[in-house]
Every structure is written in structure tokens, then in C-alpha cells.
Amino acid sequence: MEQHERLLGWPTWIGVVVDDLQAQRTFWGEMLGVPEDHAGAGFAHFILPTGEIFEVIERSETPEYDGRRFQVGFEVADIEVARAELIRRGVTAISEIMEASSPDPWAYFLDPEGNVFEIKQRKPRTD
């Protein structure tokens, strides 16, 4: 078996794609025991005391949110290098790099059974 360089770090983000965003915001907020950090059209963010992000996302027609499911986001050192390497290894990309100029750009992929996962680069903060 060929040895590969480790591309993915421990998950920094877990998302749940849901049909009823408001009901799920209430449910997960109570279950996690933390207030929402912020929300926008179609999502609500919770940041746990240890820094990990739990997000509730409303189902939509985009490939990364087209069905109810749990999704995991893995940290990578360099999003462009990691995305290119995953594609080289035969992993199916379902998005380009999103928010490439933001502090934390991300991209979505499929595993062999069609499960969606994310890779995310956390860039150093300048503020």
C-alpha cells in the first residue's frame, strides 16, 4: 500500500444539514449548551468552549447541502495544495475553493459513498 503524506488535520467543524433550520437551531443550542455565535441566511454557528465549530445548515439545492446529513470539516495547512492533491488522488471535488480571500477558505469533496466533507485552511489572523 502506497504511503501518503498526511493532508487532513483533526476536524475543526461539524455541520448538520437540516430541513427545519429554526427547530434545529433550538434543539442543538439546548443540546450543546452554548449560545449561537452568529447566524445568517440558511445557517447558525455555535462555537464550543474548546474552539470547535458546530453549524446547522438549511438544506438547499447546492451539492454540499442537498440532503440531510452530518458533515465534517478537516483542517489543512494549505488549501490549494491539499485540494489539488485530493483531486490527484481521485477524490471528487464538488466545489472550488470558497471564500479564497477570507481568513478561513474551504472546499467540498465526496467520499466513495457520496458523503460530503470539507477541507478548511485557517490563515493566521492579522488583527
pLDDT along the chain (127 residues), means of 10: 71 92 91 91 92 92 93 93 94 94 91 90 73
Burial of 64 (0-12, 13-18, 19+ CB in 10 A): buried
Around Cβ 15, how many Cβ atoms within 10 Å?
22
Q: CA angle, 13 as apex, 7 and 16 as ends, to 5°?
A: 125
CATH fold for domain 11-121: 2,3-Dihydroxybiphenyl 1,2-Dioxygenase; domain 1 (3.10.180)
What's residue 1's pLDDT?
42
What's residue 56's pLDDT?
95
CA distance 96 to 98: 6
Residue 16, phi then psi, degrees to nearest 5 = -120, 120
